[in-house]
Structure 1
């Protein structure tokens, strides 16, 4: 049996329940230890955190057992029935991502496309002026070096736009440089 200040946190039947993971049992034991210390300190912020953490753990227990559990707030002594449906109230709500900002994103992508195109063409032409056709393997090396970073950035909400622009800029720079060889 797990106790907190004289009252049972988990009943005998719940402590040995196989549905409670060792991780959850350890978290409950740790919470009891912290609760006894925090209750003695009397700090309002810590007491609030203690109550919230207790509710979160009670929710995890209710979820694991598949039934409501009674939570006794160690601060106020109030008894609260924690149900699995209470998850939305106790856990932080993550806002669903809003619609994709196409206008702003495409403007950022266009900026980076122009920036990368100009930078790559200027660099490749300077290299071609000094070393001739060695600009081709040098530019291949630059392209191959940036490709993994651009590929990884494609899934990050903001950075996908600069990555898209940079990838487009590299492609345009290659087209411009290869057309420059023909003319």
Structure 2
């Protein structure tokens, strides 16, 4: 028993130092900016978290934490954000007509790790702009919204954007204050 305790006392700080070094390396190289994840294409499972108000097909989505945890350890802690990104092709092209361009500097919040490699390029640029400016770009066809949700409470802040019939929702499901 004592040997195991001594071993744990040595291994845990080493593992923490190795993890910190890996995180620092990822930040310096830029890997933390665009996590390499694979989105779900399961539209039925998406409905457990969120019900889009625009009918979508070819949907891709991901729920992720900030800070991000290693795969298999995705348990939200008291200081974590939980974010949902959904991208899909609209079933009805006229449905996006009600999404007007954002008001000049409409306030918006996006966690810094929201830019995902699987997102369309326009979505990645938009997310980067919102992270940098803390506002929706005036030229973007986006609307800030409080959206009904299924998981993590009843209402969620976020926004919806569209370009060429593709719709992106970015929804904050939980914040440190929840």
Q: TM-score, normalised by structure 1?
A: 0.23
* Higher RCO by CA contacts (8 Å cutoff, separation 6 or greater): 2
The structure richer in helix per residue is 1
More strand by share: 2
Larger Rg: 1
